[in-house]
Structure 1
């Protein structure tokens, strides 16, 4: 036990109080009070009765009561001061003021508590300073980003907007407190429709005499227990222009490559045929013409594939019974059906989806998978139809997965890069999507997700 601890101090004060009580009791019952009373009786003639035990105890209590109160005051005074200081510090913390420190230098448990409290205050001050710096940095980044950011509360009023949003929607003036729907009431219809939805959207509007394309990303969440909605408007015109130029460059490279691969042999064979005809060697001419025709047909098929991709018609969705559809698909490609087909008919364009599945199953076979490893699975989940084509090939690297759905991207030596791009185009035309993923136990899985109308499920 530390000599300067509260426990030790309390022990000393109690011991002192007990000693004082014993001394008072002895003084009343033994010495000097009995001797003083006897002297007063014998010398002064005053007759004062000696106190009995009860009177002695009452006299001791009368003397010790104020003394005990004074001891208690001495013991509790520093504790009371510390509690008042802690109460004020906690009130300051509640108000967000962490600058309070308690100036109390003691070597006991109260001193330890004061030191811990001051260390806590210092930590809170440092954390608040770091948080303020991070908030300042974040606000600076958000305010100066070219993406227009609008945060609205549950009533649709703007709670926060950056500089880009103020310039886009209110000629540079503040948006805080304004009702966002009222603010864009006179905006182009495409913008209003995009903000009325809950999904991300891509839309174009007329601005300053030219067409500007925006990508809207929006999320709903709760902030401090209240619903909020964050909308990000990003100008995409320049980015789309760059992507368009890059796509055209890829098209030109692929088309040039294919044209050269076909025209160079045709030119050479034509020259050879003319030379053979000049020399009268007509027996070899049919072979030359056959090769020229083969290369021409290859070139025609190549150009026809690009034309079909560019002129993809809108899907004509109808109710599709699964058995005849799968039987017709099996005539074009081999696959193993996993599980059973849904009992409800599907709702899609059978010609387009059949072409997609033929391409996907063909790719699965060309991956190096065993024929029995190429599978087709059909699942109806809610209002979505999931069509999965799997194989047991080597799968794809992360770099290839990221670009496999882009037009004109192919890892095959003679590939056009249109198979998966066409599948993506058809799935998105149906309002669905396509996803590629490596299977955990080896191989690739291509998932085609098509929305189904409620009355068809």
Structure 2
């Protein structure tokens, strides 16, 4: 009996010992758990505080960006992937008229834009102002941002500057013109005087008449070139097929060089594109380049004309096999009355460049060409609203930037 009681007491003591040990472990675990909970709670509070601070900072940045967007003098329009207006600023409204979030960009294009043939890198609005448009794809989502800058005053100031430059050169041009007219006029007067002489026989009369007529034609061409140069870029314009213009050029060259060893070659396929401008002036510009190449050739002369397209420009390359342009003449050849030959008037290239510029284009000398002389005429292709509607069609979220020329 005593042994059983002793054994039972030992079991109880062992059970109590195990219970106390388990209780101690449980208390320790609870304390550790409580510490972890407190630590996690503190970290969570810190994280929430940091997130709240970041949110406040982002809100401040967003407000600043919003204020900046409102204050920007340039118009800003954000389009979504469907080509609809998502956001815009007051400057955009000032340029394009009333805008509506969710409205289609194509509707704004139809209402606000009216492209003109001489826009170049810019584009005209219906109220006559001109804007430059840059685009940037949104990052991480389809859509893009349009930035519209009013360049009306800049264009106007540039035109005024060019006009004043031309006016300031009038005295010099008048003096140079008088000098250029003097030589053919004196020759014409001499041959006419000989024609009136009774001692001249019939062959001499014929020779004198021919020489007098040549001098008169030289005077006529000189006056025509001077009048063209003095027009200050003002030409009546119409739509012209490039192929038709080049066909007239080839026919004119063939008519004026019968039996000549000078070869005119129109190479490659002519793009079926339209130009906008004055056909007579553009033809005169090209003929001046032909005359320049013909004057530079000393036998077996050749002028090759090629055509290429680049975005909204058409490039006409005139390449001759003459001696080329001397380095010292590169910066002067487009100056009025600057000539590298004794027979030239020095107006041909100046007139040609003025006509190209009057049509919103350029005429440049390719100084890297070593097989003669190469002149490149670049003329803008007519623009219309359908080209502007391409803005906003973003198939994916890509980062790419365009000049106005690429999107208008």
TM-score (norm 1): 0.46
More contact order relative to length (CA 8 Å, sep ≥ 6): 2
Higher-Rg structure is 1
